[in-house]
Amino acid sequence: MSEPFAAVEIIGAKRDNCVLTDPQIDWIVDAYTRGIVADEQMSALLMAILLNGMNGHEISRWTDAMVNSGKRMSWSKLRVPTVDKHSTGGVGDKITLPLAPLVAACGAAVPQLSGRGLGHTGGTLDKLESIPGWRASLTNAEMLKVLQECGAVICAAGADLAPADKKLYALRDVTGTVPAISLIASSIMSKKIAEGTSALVLDVKAGSGAFISDPEQAKLLARTMVDLGNRSGVKTRALVTAMDVPLGLTAGNALEVRESVEVLAGGGPADVVELTILLAREMLELVGVTSKDPATALKDGSAMDHWRRMISAQGGDPDAKLPTAKETQQVFAETDGLLTKMDAMKVGVAAWLLGAGRSRQGEKVQAAAGIEMHAKPGEMVKKGAPLFTLHSDEPERFTRSLAALDGAVSISTSNEKVERLPLIVARIE
Ligand code: URA
């Protein structure tokens, strides 16, 4: 059958800043997924989109075309409403781990399809895989069973969920076309719409450790995604939150699981606890489940019970000892003073260089590698006190990681102010 368009026409239209028509968008996304449009043609179109943008209608149509490239899941067999959270990614962002069982403990169901880390940002599946026995790949029937029995499931997306995004994301990653609001918004929302959740809370990160560092651009991304979700029948809202400083006191897979378990046990770092509770409240309010407050579910052990059931249901042993690194090395404060800055990007890159992340899709990560932070901006430190502990199974990695940490922190001996974004930058409905 002859094709209704030639890719080069569509590339030329976007290059010349024209609005793409619905049939052009439907065809190019479908034809690329089928392998009719070549990678070099799609790369050129993605770059034209990055440079010239897409309007709201084009983004919405592009998103629908990606959803329609695969299957849409349905949770109609569940008796409780479904609600999910998606973070645009950051350093030390382990919030999904305590959040999913917490929201389940409060009475909603959380079907969470998560990803793996790439570059300096960690991935939820890599973190959970540091728990001995835990399995990320589930069939749809297994996913439903875990959701029915535990109220929450965190697993990998199947091959038939928005396959167009899988191809497009891999191509964007190697063609410098990731940081375009239209492409990020359609990529994330196509997967969340196809996942079949009835409601969604987005955690859009702003700051050096985020994909989009400028808070104003992050707000625009949040607005774009909230509109896409609501237009597709997914009740969606967003918090724009700080990613100029790492979240919590750990970055790295097993280290972050340990910190998440501390939060579920009623402890943990204040910023992780605060963001987990705020996001849980937003999720529960969105689906009208307000009988139990998340702060109570963290204190009374019910969130921990849901975590243990969820981990066991996916083959994991919640009591197993988490892996620890063969080698550690500390970084010490060079002077007394107030810690005014800790750059999330530098800490993320340093953790990645220790083996916590991957530089190519499919690469293996080290479960125990990463960084512990012993102080955060706003705290006084003493000369010689530890600032960071680096963990790795391969000590030869320390040199490059230490170089990446160069300039990551500022310690002020005068009355300099702490430079950081507020934890919650904006709320978008
Ligand atoms: N995460 C996604 O799923 N897609 C993007 O484009 C960026 C982050």
Task: Give per-residue pLDDT as tens, 298-308.
Answer: 999 999 999 99
Are 53 and 173 a contacting pair, CB within 8 Å?
no
pLDDT at 116: 85
Q: Tell me the pLDDT tens digit for each residue of 113-131.
A: 998 876 777 899 999 999 9
Architecture (CATH level 2) of domain 327-412:
Alpha-Beta Complex (3.90)
Determine whether 57 is an active site residue: no
Mutation to probe ligand 1, out of 112, 171, 175, 178 (largest number of atoms < 8 A from CB): 178
Least confident of 38-42, 338-342, 362-366, 397-401: 362-366
On whether the 83-313 domain is CATH 3.40.1030.10, my answer is: yes
Instruction: Tell how far the Cα of 272 is from the centroid of ligand 1, in angstroms.
Output: 22
| Res 94 pLDDT > 80 | yes
In single-letter form, the type of residue at position 28 comes to I
Instruction: Tell how far the Cα of 87 is from the centroid of ligand 1, in angstroms.
Output: 9
Determine whether 165 is an active site residue: yes
- Ligand 1 touching residue 187 (CB < 6 A): yes
What pTM value is reported for the model?
0.95
Q: Tell me the pLDDT tens digit for each residue of 309-355.
A: 999 999 999 999 999 999 999 999 999 999 999 999 999 999 999 99
Which phi and psi (to 5°) does residue 242 adopt? -70, 130
| Res 1 pLDDT > 70 | no
More confident residue, 367 or 122: 367
Task: Tell me the C-alpha distance between 179 and 173, whole Å.
Answer: 10
pLDDT at 416: 84
The domain ranges of the chain are 7-53, 83-313, 327-412
Mean pLDDT of 59-82: 96
- Ligand 1 touching residue 188 (CB < 6 A): yes
Task: Tell me the C-alpha distance between 261 and 308, whole Å.
Answer: 10
Sequence-distant (6+) residues with CB within 8 A of 364 are: 358
Are 114 and 156 a contacting pair, CB within 8 Å?
yes
Q: Tell me the pLDDT tens digit for each residue of 43-57.
A: 999 999 999 999 999
Question: H helices within 163-214, ranges in order?
Answer: 163-175, 181-194
> What's the CA angle centered on 164, arms 157 and 123, to 5 degrees?
40
| Res 174 pLDDT > 90 | no
Instruction: Tell how far the Cα of 188 is from the centroid of ligand 1, in angstroms.
Output: 5
Determine whether 172 is an active site residue: yes
